[in-house]
A and B are shown apart, each in its own frame.
Chain A
Amino acid sequence: MQNFTTKSKRKNKGKFFWISLFLFFTIWYFLSQWVAYRYHPMILPSPFEVIQVMFTFFTQKVFWQSIGLTLYRGLMGFWLAAMIGIPLGFLMGFLPEIDAFFRPFVITLQTTPTVSWLALALIWFGRPSSMTIFITFIAVFPLLVINVYQGMGQLDEFLQEMATLFQVSKRRQFISLYLPQLLPFILAGSRAGIGMTWKAVAMAELLSGRDGIGGRMALARVNLSTTEVLAWTGILMLLGYLGERVMKYITDKAIGHWRGYL
């Protein structure tokens, strides 16, 4: 009985998801028809046109090159942010002195609007790639630092005392006690970070150059091709969604077996 209720509830949830999606596209379609009739078809293309353009993309070499470039920049920026942000968050949670020393730095990064960094980066960097990687790093880095730092604040004191009393070595404590407790926070930060990555990359590319997804969007804008802008937007959303799924998969694999929800 219990099972039955939860199942039918889930089914209902799925139903509403599809209804919502259907409504969205219907409204979009009729809106585009009305705008085309009243003003100009260029302003808002119909969803069919956008999807059609997306499919023609798949056959073009430049599309895959743009995707590759954007992926490379995004992942590079993300990777750098993780490599520096995770250890820094750990150390800040570990030693109050380090915390106090780096806090202004992290707060500055967190509160400075991304557009300011964009403006500066446009001046500082000659190459679109370095600029994009830099912007991604700036956007993702505080997320990771703060998440790991929060994780350090929630370490289990009972387990800590147990490990100390049994004279477990610092090395083993780090690997078997700290890391597993921080893992959920690292993964939560990474999940938020991956979502942020594609937005930051596209923004930086749009302003900096001609290549990558953002660059392609800039070109489409110059050509007044709303359809292409929307098609690229769709691609970015897809990337964001895939990144989120991958992170969720990794999270479940990494901590599901001891959290008991797998």
Chain B
Amino acid sequence: MIELKEVNKYFDGLQVLGNLSFSVSRGKILCILGPSGCGKTTILRILAGLLPIDGGQVIQKEPIVSSYVFQEPRLLPWKTVKENINFVISHSSLAKDKRIDFYLQKTGLQEYANYYPHQLSGGMKQRVALVRAFVYEHQLLLMDEPFQGLDVKTRNLLLNQTHLLWKETQNTIVFVTHHVEEALLLGDEILLLSKKPAQVKRRISIGLPRKERNLQDPNFQKQYEGIVQSF
């Protein structure tokens, strides 16, 4: 759907991306895994078309509308959960309204539809941001370390819900993280990046259906160890 070919990017003379090449396949979840500060956010911004590149090519056949989940929830404090979601919808309709309700229900937020962000926990706010991103009409969903700073339990819950919502839309997701477990549990493919300037070290396909993935499973464990080692 979108391909990066030998992309270079510099910030003030410092090379962040060095001949980075990879492609994003339609309808798949691609996890970009890399050490902190290796330019993962830069990659997302390039995919979103927000950042010009200093060399190479970004190839896409048609214009792509992207949706986002940020590191922070980025909700409007003066709007309720439902109003926050409606904020990004340009023309509301009954069908869209139903879809919002459906997603809220899927993520267990329907009772909180009229709550203000300050009344919600950090994990719940991020769930609202997740629903907002999925409700927004998009072809590509970009997620930038969205579950950072949340505890393990909340993170797993949000991973599950991301998957749940993704099953509804079947859209393409690029998910940036530095948690190996997150990438292993959610991704169809994992792109392992090197330190700055970022290059693709390995591209790993995970054949196992998500339901059967279990960090306690010996085989899965081996894959995990392998990634951690080359990390």
Contacts and interface: CB of A to CB of B under 8 A. Distances in A.
A78 B138 CA distance: 47
Nearest to A177: B76
Contacts of B66: 165
B90 A176 contact: no
B134 to A, nearest CB: 12
Interface of A: 158-159, 161-163, 165-169, 172, 176-177, 180, 255, 257-260
Nearest to A167: B90
A166 B88 contact: yes
A166 B88 CA distance: 6
A183 to B, nearest CB: 8
B78 A158 contact: no
A212 B175 CA distance: 68
B220 interface: no
A159 B76 contact: yes
A176 B87 contact: yes
B116 A258 contact: yes
B74 A168 contact: no
A166 B79 contact: no
Nearest to A260: B118
20 contacts: A158-B72, A158-B74, A159-B74, A161-B74, A162-B70, A162-B74, A163-B88, A165-B50, A166-B68, A166-B136, A167-B65, A167-B90, A168-B87, A169-B90, A172-B87, A176-B76, A176-B87, A177-B76, A258-B77, A258-B117
A40 B77 CA distance: 62
A168 B67 CA distance: 12
Nearest to A172: B87
B119 interface: yes
B204 interface: no
A169 to B, nearest CB: 7
A181 to B, nearest CB: 8
Contacts of B136: 166
Interface string B47-91: 010100000000000000111101010101111000000011010
Contacts of B78: 180, 255, 258
A163 to B, nearest CB: 8
7 tightest A-B CB contacts, nearest first:
A166-B88, A258-B78, A180-B78, A260-B118, A162-B74, A258-B77, A258-B116
A169 B48 CA distance: 18
Nearest to B116: A258
Contacts of A167: 65, 90
Contacts of B90: 167-169
B70 A158 contact: yes
A252 to B, nearest CB: 14
Contacts of B67: 166
Contacts of A172: 87
A177 B116 CA distance: 15
Contacts of B50: 165
A102 B65 CA distance: 40
Given A176-B87, A258-B78, A165 B116 contact: no
